[in-house]
């Protein structure tokens, strides 16, 4: 089963608002990745994090690798309509080669 707990499960916001979502686990992770998935498509990588405490930005997106290595968050600033979709956190635990995914956060934006 899934080892990652992602929250919130869904968000309904107004265009222009900032968004924050997070992912937690009872296991230690060596990498954290954030993906976005549009309907009928595969997940697309947004940000990759490799080191505890790392804070990385990609345009309006910012993600951090938690210092305990058991959590990560993703922030989106000044949301726009094309931000709509499902956001997944994912990561590799120590020694594992497979990527484990959270359940996803569905983002809906009201114009």
Partner 1 sequence: DTGVSQDPRHKITKRGQNVTFRCDPISEHNRLYWYRQTLGQGPEFLTYFQNEAQLEKSRLLSDRFSAERPKGSFSTLEIQRTEQGDSAMYLCASSRSGTGGRLAGANVLTFGAGSRLTVL
Q: Which of 19, 69, 85, 102 touches partner 1 (CB under 8 A)? A: 102
Which range of residues in 13-21, 42-50, 57-65, 71-79 is near partner 1 by CB under 8 A?
A: 42-50
**Structural tokens at position 60:** 């309006």
Pick the binder of partner 1 from 90, 93, 107, 109 (CB under 8 A): 90
Residue that has been written with the tokens 């992912």 in this structure: 23
For residues 14 and 82, which CB has a smaller minimum distance to partner 1 in the complex? 82
Neighbours of 4 (CB within 10 A): 23
What are the phi and psi torsion angles at 46 (to 5°)? Answer: -105, -55
Nearer to partner 1, 66 or 102 (CB): 102
Residues touching partner 1, count (CB under 8 A): 26
Is 81 among the residues that bind partner 1 (CB under 8 A)? no
Alpha-carbon distance of 35 to 52, in angstroms, equals 19
The pair of three-digit structure tokens given for residue 29, joined into one six-digit string: 């992770």
- Of the candidates 75, 55, 79, the one whose C-alpha atom is nearest the C-alpha of residue 67 is 55
**Between 2 and 41, how does the x/- string for binding to partner 1 read (CB under 8 A)?**
x-x-x------------------------x-x-x----xx
């Amino acid at each position: 089963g899934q080892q990652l707990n992602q929250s919130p499960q869904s968000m309904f916001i107004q265009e222009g608002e900032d968004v924050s979502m997070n992912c937690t686990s009872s296991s230690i992770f060596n990498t954290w990745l954030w993906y976005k998935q549009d309907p009928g498509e595969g997940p697309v990588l947004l940000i990759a994090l490799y080191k505890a405490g790392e804070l990385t930005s990609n345009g309006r997106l910012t993600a951090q690798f938690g210092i305990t290595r058991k959590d990560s968050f993703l922030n989106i600033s000044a949301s726009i309509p094309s931000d709509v979709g499902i956001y997944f956190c994912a990561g590799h635990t120590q020694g594992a080669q497979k990527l484990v995914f959270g359940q996803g956060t569905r983002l809906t934006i009201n114009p």
